[in-house]
Structure 1
Amino acid sequence: MTSKKEENNSHGDELRCGQCHKPYRDPRLLNCLHSFCMECVQEHVTKNKWKRSLLCPLCQKEMLIPKDGLSTIARDFYIKARQEVGKLTPTSECDMCQEKEFAQSRCLNCDVNLCRTCKEKHCSPESDQVHHFLEFVEQPVVTQSKPHPSTKLTQMSYCNKHPDQEISIFCTKCKINICANCKEEKHGAHAVQETANMAKSIRGSLTHFLGAIKEYLPEFEEFVKQVRKGQKELDKDLDNTIKDIQARSKFLQREIEKISQQVISEVKEKHKAESDDLNKEAKNIINSYKSIATVAASAERILKIGSDINVIESSKRIQKRFMQVEDELPSLSRDSVATVGFVPGGLKADSLPKMFGQISKGEIALPTLPVPWGIRVAKEFEMCSIGGFKVKSAADTVQAIAPISDTEAWICSGWGSKDVYLYSITGERKKKVTLDIQVDHMCVTPSGEILVSSYEDKYIRKINKEHVVCDFAIPHLYPGGMVMTKRKELFVCAVDSYTTRRASHSYRCLMKMSEYGMNIDEIDEDGDTVLFGAPYRIAEAPNRDLCITDREEGKLRVIRIDQEGCLKFVYTGPKEVKTKQPFNPLGLCCDRGNNLLISDWGNHCVHMVNGDGQFLGFILSQKDGLFKPNAMSLDKLGNLWIGDGNATVRVYKYGKRDY
């Protein structure tokens, strides 16, 4: 069972040690990111007699004990900063200078407040020690006219080879932090970044990972609550069972007592009847005995003390009385008296326990551990926001995005719009093109031209590299989503009407066209199986499979086929995860690993599905600011562009994590 201390700590103050449950004293950070008091770590190692490595008391991950001893385990300055934030205020004075200047920072290694001048002296390049500082940073607050001071943990680190140089550069090839002199001497040909920029990129990547963990924690917490509820129910069942057993015991005792009293009453009644009869017999016998005994005594007195004359005179009377004695002897009406006894009832070895009752088996359903899909995806895939901008001030749906590079994309927002815009990743509008058709979808040709389909008119227009609009194709069906394959074949989602309910006479297919707009083939069935109800968007996978979102009424789904029209799988949403709203797929794209990314309008998220149609997780969700995602596209660099229902485009660095 979970102890009360553990239970309190699981929901308690993060500034309390997970071992002693008290405020941290000299907190140390283990490799597994769990922190404990230095004293608690020492006691833990001593108790288990570990020499070379130790196991974290919380997660049991192994960590090598430093050669120089436990005291060299890294201090957790992040916790210490939280603990000592109250010791640095805007009115705190410097502890080092005599001028009593206001302190701007606090050295967490030396526990002193420092003004700007004293800080520079304190962390001189000649010092071998790395100092960690809690510093003021100005955070503007909208509701206040003056900046609002807050604190941040900083660190002054100098190069070991060049003690007068502060480390401020990150070598992306060697993956180490260096100073400016090191860059010139040994890393001149290597790609480098400012440590601030590298840290910003890492923060972006890990923040998404952290978001996935934090998003999972409420589900995990609910799981813990349900497990604890099960524990309480288990204990409650034990108490109730014991009460039932005791109640059964008392019941049987009462019933046995009733039977006992009934048998005793019956015994007494039978005994009384026999006793009354015997008492009558005994009374007669006693009376007879007394009578005869009295006659004998009287006759004996006469014979012993009487005179001769009295004896002679009484002889006839005495003799006569003696003759009557035999007639007075009692005669018994029966020769025996019935006695009352008790014979215990038959009792087999197991009859009493069976009569008492047996232990029954019940069941308390334990909750199912929620699957950490977000963590699994974030663990394998990197998702870092690198851009975001509004296409329109008013809320509108971005229905088409066609990246032409890793920094630019053509975008259309608003159903019925005839305008498409070229935007940079920073949100700069570079070009506007107005067409004579209402835009449904766009795609990029291998040569960099833009194809535009119209859901109202049976047209596909082309925007060439000079941004001139010209005809491309006039299909006999209404065109929707399009993709130009690496083989320069255009596949178009095509319908005979834009109703999403397919009738018996409806015709819905993929049109296959040449790079010049000539119709080559149409895919509508796999044998006798009708493939499409209302094909909407299409993407090509690296293995040349085609993935299509199908928005047939009542059958929203994603279909994967090969280019011959053979069905691979149908995805209708995750079976392992319960979503708030029904699966509502719109845009989609395929990454280099053959994974399918699908925008889910109703649940404000992006599904990731592998090449076999198995749900891997949600790679983006509402926690990332996603609102009714629709258009999706991957640029050549692998960046993911997403347009939503709020006229907003977001761009993410996307790909496998590099460990």
Structure 2
Amino acid sequence: MMDPRTSAQDVMRCDLCETAVVQMHCDTCLVNLCKACVGEHISTGESKDHMVVKFQDRQSTPLYPTCTFHNKDRCVMYCNQCDIPVCLGCLASKQHLGHELSKLLQVLDEKKDMILKERNELNDTIYPTYQDIVSDVQNRMSQLEKEYGDLSTAITKHGEDWHREIDKLVKKRKAEVNEMKNTQLQTLQKHLGEINKKMSDIKDEINSIETAIDTNDLSKLFSVTSNVHTHRNLPHRIIPSLPKFIPGKIHGEELDKMFGALSSSSLTSDKHGYSMKTRQKSPEAGFSPPVKQLIDEPKTVTTIKTEYSYNLYNVVCLSDEEIWTSGDDSIMKLYRINQGSLLKSIRTKSGKWPSNIAVTKSGDLVYTDYRNRTVNIVKNEKIEEVIRLQNWRPNSVCSTSSGDLLVIMDSDNKKQTKVVCYSGFTEKQSIQFDDKGKPLYSPSSGYLGYITENKNLDICVSDEGTKAVVVVNQAGKLRFRYTGHTPAPNNEPFNPLGITTDSQSHILTADRNNHCVHIIDQDGQFLRYIDCGLSLPWGLCTDTNDNLFVAQLLNKQVKKIKYLQ
């Protein structure tokens, strides 16, 4: 939605008066309201517990399920003996007298944890196992084609020895082979179809769980049921048995019998043929990516020339083929990497240049507007304000593996700097001080800071003020500070700017003074420099193949660099 205070288009109106601009929202009735209509809405008899919040805080109130026995009453407790949610009316009726009760939110949290575990099992274990089963069946089908082909060749070769008088018998036997093959292939094809249908059902169930998890409607979450127990029963393994061709000697009248016969074929089902496999995908599940070594000499793969008039600051990968860039004007530009062609341009809503850009897990562009105090997201080329700060200004931003946003922000007086984690509009965590109460990050005072999340979930900040890379763990506890390495390529002081990480949990940071990129490991140990003829490197990012992209300030070029095997 466009900000109604700054835009004349796409303004949302009150659902009651249909004229005033939306300012409030009823989380109970899902109605948008202006302040003047709040009283009228609350006075309606549609609900006893209207939860009216500011519009930007909409869908932040849990929606308790409605009681099936007492119309419009919301359930706040859960009867463990009856296994149902109950309202205060239920408790007053003494139907549940002496029953063990729990808070509904606690039960739903346990329910959510359970379905999350089941979702993880479907995602990380069951579905990958079915993928392996599909591969196994397809391989068997290919092998079956080959072996039946070999069988046909053997029959043909034997038939050539019999010349013309046995041509008819050769065709007869080959027809028998084809019939057996087709029968077995049809059986395997049907088996494959059943497996694919099962995988589709699993995917649908995963999507259903994801939808329930992402909503704030607790009724939908509570209604989620999982068939994971049925999916654990893996299909039988069908193993075809090939017939054998037994050649016979040529003997006049018994030509048909002596030519050779095919033994019978069969398909057996082995229910113990497959075993469950696990493909872990997340750091929490212990995922270990393939080990890649640093190459001896990093090399530039390609150079993309951007069209900024003055300075180029930021670069972020949308995919392995496309990158977003931003500089010191209001236009953010999307380029195709291989051709270097401009695909799209987006102007910031305020007309000010973005401090930093990032891409979410769903592929949406995010940018910070320091002067306008906002963090914004671009969806279908429309800009929506996600966060508007007071007394603070957003500097840099990154999207985490869980889909949250990490934002570095400076106080208006430029005396404080902190990192804040947001889930949607909601602040989840603030990181500002170490265990001794000392600031983790230097006050802004004109200095820049960039931020990224490592694969081990560490939060990494390049702090230009203290000339250090500051790394804290997921809980915000300081792990280490990296202050550079000597000798430096230009023997200049370490000046960290853009920062990124790769699949090996390496941390890479641009060093403007020394025209290079530092690579350190996840524990802060220096590994090597990357220069590749860089000139004033600024913004950094990596793609899924661990290629490094470096935005160079003055020549307005982005270099794609290969540095891992």
TM-score by length of 2: 0.45
With CA pairs under 8 Å and 6+ residues apart, which has the higher RCO, 1 or 2? 2
**Bigger share in strand:** 2
- Structure number with greater Rg is 1
